[in-house]
Amino acid sequence: MWKAFAIMTAAGAGAFLLSACQTMSAEECKVADWRALGFSDGAGGNYRFDDRQEDCARRGFASDLDAYRVGNAEGIRQYCTPFNGFRRGLGGASYNGFCPPDLHEGFMVAHADGYRAYQANYALQQAESERNRLEGQRNNIDGDIRSNEDALAAATTDEERRRIRNELGRLNDERRRVNDDIRVQLREIALRTDAVERVRFDIGPIYGAW
């Protein structure tokens, strides 16, 4: 197992979820317990040795890769539960097989369930976002229609009234097209909502509410 972690270290630990770099101060580097830091990062599903090492090197302090690696492996074992696998997938994060062999299958299956739920939720959100965009477009058209109706009432020449009526005709045609698009999108939302509920039914309460 340590050999596998050494390979990951040399490759920059790309299999781990890299979160925002947490800068270590000079005081933190001075008193750093590298095994504890590795455990803390691993328990969060992360590998941050390279960033931590760089921070401390800039401040004139050495790091301890071996101790960090030991702690990280211990932390990863704590992290690699089906619950965390599901939550990782539900958040849209990838899983590249970083869990130890004896925990890999359970984490992988749960991650696949979570990612399936993520995809269903994302498709629903996209459909709702498109409906909102279309409704905003319709609101803008309604505002333009009202403005042109006011302008028509105040028009003083036949030419001006003809121009405004043509514009009102165009706006009303556009509004009808947008209404048609909204109806299509509402049907899409209903389909996507059903898809989310099917996934929710298939997965059941294994991982808690989502």
109 by DSSP, 3-state: which?
helix
**Domain co-membership, 75 together with 116:** no
**Domain co-membership, 125 together with 71:** no
Enter the pTM of the model: 0.75
**Domain co-membership, 73 together with 118:** no
Number of folded domains that form the chain: 2
Helices of type H across 47-157 = 49-58, 65-79, 82-90, 101-154
Q: Answer whether residue 130 shows pLDDT above 70.
A: yes
pLDDT at 34: 97
**Domain co-membership, 195 together with 115:** yes
Average pLDDT over residues 75-90: 97
Averaged confidence pLDDT in the chain: 90
**Domain co-membership, 126 together with 192:** yes
Structural domain of residue 75, as residue ranges? 2-79
Let me know if residue 92 belongs to a domain. no
